[in-house]
Amino acid sequence: MELFNSESKKIVSDPINVNNPISLQVLGICSALAVTIRLDQAIIMTLAVVFVLCSSNVILSLIRNYIPTRVRIVIMLSVIASLVSVVDELLKAYLYDMSKQLSVFVGLIITNCIIMGRAEAFALKHGPSKAFLDGLGNSMGYGLIIIIVSFFRELFGAGTITLPDGGAGYVLWRIPESWYAAGYENIGLLVLSPGAFIILGLVIWIQREFAGVEEDA
């Protein structure tokens, strides 16, 4: 199979745009919000999800013909849990500060519905290369949303933009003191949990306007 024909491109680009896992399929919101206080946390979390989702999709797709249907959930959970443990240990070893900040939310990638959902809906029905592309597309779609949400939360809530580095994060830009002197104020609410819900609600609204999707009720 060619890797770059239009069908593969569609598998990758659809979940980023018109079939986004968070805003349209409504999967994986749990962890999407908790890690959006700062941009660097969101970026690291995205990388973790890209790794777990792509590998779990490929592994499950490779063994899909040997999995008995009745016990597939247990098998999926154990594959995903092993991969997440690998990520957790890697973060602890190389990015200790970050793993402390993300605390339990790395472990909670296991119960992230995107991963189970894509395994069930796609990986168990398609070959490994397509499953890999689907994993890539969906995790990037997830990453896009949490990076947008965390960008706004950090910029307007704390007045900084932080990129990940080995330690506590590299501050790329900070709102200058002169702005504060001129009367600008950070919106403290955005750093707290209600801010995350409201910003994600607005992002979902905007994305659905572009994708042209409506839901009844």
Partner 1 sequence: MTGVEHYLSIFTKAVFIENIVLAYFLGLCSFLAISKKIDASVGIGLAVIVVLTITAPINWFLWEFLLDKGALVWISQDFKDTDLGFLKLIVFISVIAAMVQLVEMFMERFSQSLYNSLGIFLPLIAVNCSILGGSLFMVEREYTISETVVYGFGSGVGFFLAIVALASIRYRIRYSNIPPRLRGVGMAMLLTGLLSMAFMAFSGIDL
What residues make contact with partner 1 under the rule CB under 8 A? 23, 26-34, 73-74, 77-78, 81-82, 84-85, 88-89, 103-104, 107-108, 110-113, 116, 189, 192-198, 200-202, 204-205, 208-209, 213-217
Residue 133 C-beta: closest distance to partner 1, Å: 24
Residue 33 C-beta: closest distance to partner 1, Å: 4
Residue 161 phi/psi, 5° resolution?
-130, 120
Residue 206 C-beta: closest distance to partner 1, Å: 9
Q: Which residues are bridge partners to 25 per DSSP?
A: none
* Residue number, 3 or 26, with CB nearest to partner 1: 26
* Residue number, 180 or 205, with CB nearest to partner 1: 205
81-to-52, 73, 88, 159, 212 alpha-carbon distances in Å: 9, 12, 10, 36, 36
* Residue number, 25 or 186, with CB nearest to partner 1: 25
DSSP 38-90: SHHHHHHHHHHHHHHHHHHHHHHHHTGGGS-GGGHHHHHHHHHHHHHHHHHHH
- Cβ atoms of 145 and 32 within 8 Å: the answer is yes
Residue 39 C-beta: closest distance to partner 1, Å: 17
Six-digit token string for 210 = 């572009």
Q: Which helix (H) or strand (E) holds 26?
A: none
- Cβ atoms of 120 and 76 within 8 Å: the answer is yes
* Residue number, 12 or 37, with CB nearest to partner 1: 37
What is the rounded CA–CA span in Å between residue 128 and residue 59? 8
* Residue number, 179 or 205, with CB nearest to partner 1: 205
Residue 8 C-beta: closest distance to partner 1, Å: 28
* Residue number, 63 or 202, with CB nearest to partner 1: 202
What is the rounded CA–CA span in Å between residue 184 and residue 187? 10
Residue 198 C-beta: closest distance to partner 1, Å: 4
**Locate tokens 């970050």: which residue?**
98
